[in-house]
Structure 1
Amino acid sequence: MEHNSRTSLTRRGLLRTATGVGLAAFGVGYGAASAAASVGMTSRFDLSQPSYDLFRDKNLHSNRVQQSFAFDSVNKRLFVAAKRLDSPESAGDLCISQLDFAGNYVSYMHLNGFGHGVAFGVRPVGSTSNLWIETDANGNGYGTKLAFIGYNPGTTVDAASQGFGKFQPISGATEYTCSIDPVYNRMIVRYHKDGAKHIAVYELADTDKGDFSSPVAMFTPPAIAGTPQGYTLYGSYMYFITGDGYSTSNPDPGNTYITSININTGAIAQGPTLTKAGSTLVYREPEGLAIYRTDAGESRLFLGFASGDEGDRRSSIFYKNALV
Structure 2
Amino acid sequence: MRTKKRKILWMMFLAFGFCAAFQSHCVKVEAKIVKRDVTPREPSSSDLQVVRKVTKLASKRWIQSFTMDSKYYYYIQMTKPYCGNLRITRVKYRGLGRYTRDHMDLKRFGHATNLDCSTVNGRTWLWTGSDCKKGSDVSRAISGFPYRKNTTLRKHGAIRYKIPDIRIGKYMTNIYPAISEDNTQMAVRYTYNNRQYFQIYNLIDGKFINPRGPVKRFSIDATYGDFQGFDLYGSSVYTIDGSPRRSFLKAYNREYNCSAVYHPTRIRRYDFDSGASRRVVIRGAKRLSYREPEGIKVVSGRRVYIMYISNTLTNQSCNIYKVKRWI
TM interval, shorter chain, is 0.7 to 0.9
Q: Shift of residue 224 of structure 1?
A: 2.7
Q: Shift of residue 292 of structure 1?
A: 2.8
Alignment partner of 1:79 is 2:74: yes
- Between the aligned partners of 1:179 and 1:105, the Cα distance in structure 2 is 26
What's the TM-score once normalised by structure 2's chain length?
0.72
Residues 123 and 131 in structure 1, CA contact (< 8 A), matched pair in contact too: yes
- Between the aligned partners of 2:89 and 2:60, the Cα distance in structure 1 is 11
Q: 1:223 to 1:299 in 2, by over 3 A?
A: closer
Percent identity at matched positions?
Answer: 25
Q: Which runs of 5+ in 1 are unaligned?
A: 1-47
Residues 66 and 305 in structure 1, CA contact (< 8 A), matched pair in contact too: no
Q: 1:312 to 1:143 in 2, by over 3 A?
A: same
Instruction: Give per-residue Cα distances to partners, 1:98-132, cap 9 Å, x unaligned.
Output: 11255724211100111111112112234532111
Q: Shift of residue 299 of structure 1?
A: 4.2
1:91 to 83, 93, 98: 83
- Between the aligned partners of 2:323 and 2:100, the Cα distance in structure 1 is 23
- Between the aligned partners of 1:315 and 1:61, the Cα distance in structure 2 is 11
Indicate the SS of the match to 1:100.
strand
2:142 to 137, 140, 146: 146
Residues 59 and 105 in structure 1, CA contact (< 8 A), matched pair in contact too: no
Q: Shift of residue 250 of structure 1?
A: 5.2
Indicate the SS of the match to 2:109.
coil
Q: Shift of residue 247 of structure 1?
A: 4.0
- Between the aligned partners of 1:304 and 1:201, the Cα distance in structure 2 is 24
- Between the aligned partners of 1:264 and 1:222, the Cα distance in structure 2 is 16
Q: 1:224 to 1:131 in 2, by over 3 A?
A: same
- Between the aligned partners of 2:206 and 2:194, the Cα distance in structure 1 is 26
Q: 1:65 to 1:280 in 2, by over 3 A?
A: farther
- Between the aligned partners of 1:218 and 1:206, the Cα distance in structure 2 is 22
Query: What are the residue-to-residue correspondences of 1:157-306 with 2, within 5 Å?
Result: 157-159=153-155, 164-170=158-164, 171-172=169-170, 173-183=172-182, 185-205=184-204, 208-248=207-247, 255-268=264-277, 270-271=278-279, 273-293=280-300, 298-306=301-309
- Between the aligned partners of 2:273 and 2:244, the Cα distance in structure 1 is 32
Q: Which runs of 5+ in 2 are unaligned?
A: 1-44, 251-261
Q: Shift of residue 212 of structure 1?
A: 2.8
- Between the aligned partners of 1:128 and 1:207, the Cα distance in structure 2 is 10
Q: 1:107 to 1:145 in 2, by over 3 A?
A: same
- Between the aligned partners of 2:188 and 2:274, the Cα distance in structure 1 is 16
Alignment partner of 1:108 is 2:84: no
- Between the aligned partners of 1:49 and 1:57, the Cα distance in structure 2 is 18
Residues 61 and 108 in structure 1, CA contact (< 8 A), matched pair in contact too: no
Q: 1:94 to 1:249 in 2, by over 3 A?
A: closer
Q: Which residue of 2 aligns with 1:307?
A: 310
Choose between structure 1 and 2: higher helix proportion. 2
Q: 1:184 to 1:265 in 2, by over 3 A?
A: farther
Q: Shift of residue 196 of structure 1?
A: 2.8
- Between the aligned partners of 1:125 and 1:291, the Cα distance in structure 2 is 19
Alignment partner of 1:65 is 2:62: yes
Indicate the SS of the match to 1:122.
strand
- Between the aligned partners of 2:138 and 2:276, the Cα distance in structure 1 is 27
Residues 201 and 209 in structure 2, CA contact (< 8 A), matched pair in contact too: no
Instruction: Give per-residue Cα distances to partners, 1:235-269, cap 9 Å, x unaligned.
Output: 12111111111243757x9611111111125442x
Residues 65 and 77 in structure 2, CA contact (< 8 A), matched pair in contact too: yes
- Between the aligned partners of 1:254 and 1:223, the Cα distance in structure 2 is 14
What's the TM-score once normalised by structure 1's chain length?
0.73
Indicate the SS of the match to 1:143.
coil
Report how many aligned residue pairs link the two structures: 263
| Deviating more after overlay: 98-107 vs 180-189 | 98-107
Indicate the SS of the match to 2:82.
helix
